Amino acid sequence: MIQSEFNRPQRLDTIGAGENQVQVEAEPGERTALAARFGLKAIDGLKANYAIRRDARGIIATGHLSARVTQACVITDDPVPAVIEEDFAIRFLPEEEGDGGDDETELSEDECDIVFYSGSAIDLGEAAAESLALALDPYPRSPRAEAALKDAGVISEEEAKRQAEESGPFGGLAGLRDKLGGN
């Protein structure tokens, strides 16, 4: 098992059929390590509130993730601050259930994400970190991004559509004919 930067083990023998309320919060050093792992400029806050219970197939954890992060703009590398408020539902299953050849784990009606565990504990910190990674904007843009693209000669999708409409279905061919010296 990989050691997480944000390790918050919850022993299985403390989880019963009734709901346990658990809160985990990342310390500054953990947030710095997670920011490096996820390619973020910073994580200024990360906490998750869990309601955990056991069911017939494993452990169910539902809750809410709150985070304040700073991502890098994909165009300018400018800092792009973001606040993440995300509800989640996770089903923790023992690893041996995921190792079978007819691996048929179905999502239940509550659409839980599935996390496999081994040993006598589940890692609520790592689950929160993975939930954060899934909630991040994959293409963050700063307010300067559009101007930087325009300066680089990249046109917007709307401009490309407009140019295509103005030139008509054969506009591109006419431009090619003109370049080749045709009539």
In tens, the pLDDT along 71-89 reads: 999 889 899 999 999 999 9
Instruction: Report pLDDT for 113.
Output: 86
pLDDT band at 182 (very low <50, low <70, confident <90, very high): low
Burial pattern 72-110, b for ≥16 Cβ within 10 A else e, equals ebebbebebeeebeeebebbbbeeeeeeeeeeeeeeeee
Quick check: 50 and 23 in contact, CB under 8 A? yes
Instruction: Report pLDDT for 155.
Output: 74
